[in-house]
Amino acid sequence: MQHPVPDRLSGTVLEGRYELGPRLARGGTATVYRARDRRLDRPVAVKLLHPHLAEDAGAAERFAREARAAARLSHPHVVSVLDQGRSPDGTPYLVMELVEGPTLRRVLRERGALPVPEALDVLEALLDGLAAAHRAGLVHRDVKPENVLLDAGGRITVADFGLTRAADQHTGTGTVLGTVGYAAPELVMGRRVDARSDVYATGVVLFELLAGRRPFDGPPLVVARAHADGPVPDVRSAAPGVPAPVAHLVARATAHDPQDRPADAGRMLEQLRAVRAALGREHPTQVLGARPPAGNDPTEVLGARPPGGNDRTQVLGTRPPGDGGSTRVLGARHVPGGSTATEVLRPGDPTRALGTRRPERQERGASGSTDPWRPAVELRPARPLRTAGVLAVAALAVAAAAFLGWLLGSGPGAPVAVPDVRGTGTELAEQYLAGAGLRNVVVRESPDPTAPEGTVVGTDPAQGSAVRPLEQVVLIVSTGPEQVVAPDVVGMGVEEAGDRLADAGLEPGERTEVPSAATAGTVVGQEPAAGTAVARGESVLLAVSAGPRAQEAPGVLGAPVADAVRELEAAGWPVVVEEPLGVSLGVVVAQETTADGVVLTVL
């Protein structure tokens, strides 16, 4: 879980019950806030769909599906969904169990690869939660370290069922949902997705836990192609110390063919437990993020200080122990004998800089005054104040310049490179841009002759360009090939029809000559029909008149079927050949003329 961040919605109360606190996380589809349930007086997490997605019926439906799917699950390793509703502006939200602790991604970022026993502990809890979902007929579709949470007691839970689908529902749009780094080949290629796709993603997670990195890295399109084209490499190539049974478990889970993987998370869980038994030794459980019990050997705690030190928190600016702990008044005079006398200023005394030494009192000052408290040399107070003001302004200017230089140079305002998100879906592209620190994203649709509808074909600025986090990045999303309206070319000559189609952005396609009362060479039919929307560059089939056919069909009884057909078609008569016995000797034994042409019976 990320550190809380103030947000414009912090303090908002949803439906008179859920009071939003600081923002905890922001993903590609929703923002998560810490909140308080006023009715039950308990902390919760509220997940609000991004406003621009709330207007998308598909995104809103996926969001509602998350609520219905997760609410069906009651399991220690699955984050509970408690309620759902809509904000005053109609934005859908979910109310979830608040898990206080880091994500598995943060664990990997801070520690890198985990020891084999810890990696298997994490995987066992992850598979246990997924197995409950699979038994309920649900497929998560977005298993990754960001969606695995660890609370302070070490409990591991699976979250974010935003892409969940029932096992009998599948997409066929070709748009990849989920994170490409963990996407199964069938998900990348838009094929049927089932529980084995979650098994594949879990295998990739185990690879990362053991090796400290994913099997494929690079731009999203490169990673997607790597998953689609080839097998995941042996984890021992990246982590040679991994035992062979564990490496084989990774290989089975990430098999390219779904048929070669475990059937679901429950089956993979059984295989994992068998592997742990086959290792032939007990693995001490090291709970990630747990607080060690008093008096026991400390379990490794993320970010904890090594045992053995008695560190004290020292208030900045306080005097270290042993100095007597005495407080000295600024400007006080030190009285011989070890005490400190507080110097009291009398009314009317001249202004004096703190810490300056008071001149020794004289019977008469230089100015001739007999006042014993008047300094020997009189200073005009305006000059030191003016100097101090100038110095303060200069110091502030230097500090502001240094802060601005840091902000724009290496701080949060430093330029970042636009990642390559071509070939991904809109939601996934926004996730990658947000991961690079670019959240000011808008979508512009544009036709593309080759990219499927909904696929990102580029960005503005282009990928690799250096932009600052607050600058706007435009996602250029394909609407598919440009659509044009087929013109009406019936009644035109063949050449005129070809020119008319070319003017409309279409091509004249195959021509079929048919008998017709129209003049030979005249277009008498077209496919697709006039007024139909078709992709630019498509071909239009043309039916062209061959002239009027003979009044009577020529007789072809006893003729070979090939000669008979040729003679009838030359006379302008369509031919239908029937073989009632299913065996053709190639001889016409019957001929019948109908309104549609000539029917030949052949033996």
**Cα gap 85→48, rounded to integer Å:** 10
Contact 62, 141 (CB under 8 A): no
Query: Cα torsion at 218, 224, 227, 230 (round to 10°)?
Result: -80
Contact 206, 214 (CB under 8 A): no
**Cα gap 198→402, rounded to integer Å:** 49
Neighbours of 432 (CB within 10 A): 20
Q: What is the largest CA-CA distance in the chain?
A: 154
Contact 34, 21 (CB under 8 A): yes
Burial class (CB in 10 A: 0-12, 13-18, 19+), 179: buried
Query: Cα torsion at 281, 286, 287, 290 (round to 10°)?
Result: 150
Instruction: Work out the angle between the directed axes of helices 265-278 and 195-211 (0-180°, nearest 10).
Output: 40
Q: Which of 500, 544, 498 is nearest to 522 (CA)?
A: 544
Q: Tell whether the torsion through CA atoms of 185, 190, 191 and 197 is positive or negative.
A: positive
- Ramachandran category for residue 178: left, alpha or beta (phi over 0 → left; psi -120 to 50 → alpha): left
Contact 431, 183 (CB under 8 A): no
Q: Which of 41, 43, 47, 42 is nearest to 24 (CA)?
A: 47
Within 13 A of 513's CA, how many CA atoms are on the CB side? 12
**Cα gap 135→339, rounded to integer Å:** 79
Residues with catalytic annotation?
142
Contact 175, 455 (CB under 8 A): yes
Contact 127, 268 (CB under 8 A): yes
Contact 527, 540 (CB under 8 A): yes
Contact 487, 457 (CB under 8 A): no
Q: Say which residues have a Cβ less than 8 Å from residue 399's Cβ, sequence separation at least 6.
A: none
Q: What angle do CA 566, 568, 569 make, to 5 degrees?
A: 65
Query: Cα torsion at 58, 61, 67, 73 (round to 10°)?
Result: -80
Burial class (CB in 10 A: 0-12, 13-18, 19+), 256: middle
- Dihedral pair phi/psi, residue 563, rounded to 5°: -65, -40
Q: Say which residues have a Cβ less than 8 Å from residue 388's Cβ, sequence separation at least 6.
A: none
The pair of structure tokens assigned to 51 is 């406003």
The pair of structure tokens assigned to 97 is 């169990």
Neighbours of 335 (CB within 10 A): 10
Contact 461, 475 (CB under 8 A): no
Strand partners for 374: none
The pair of structure tokens assigned to 414 is 């430093």
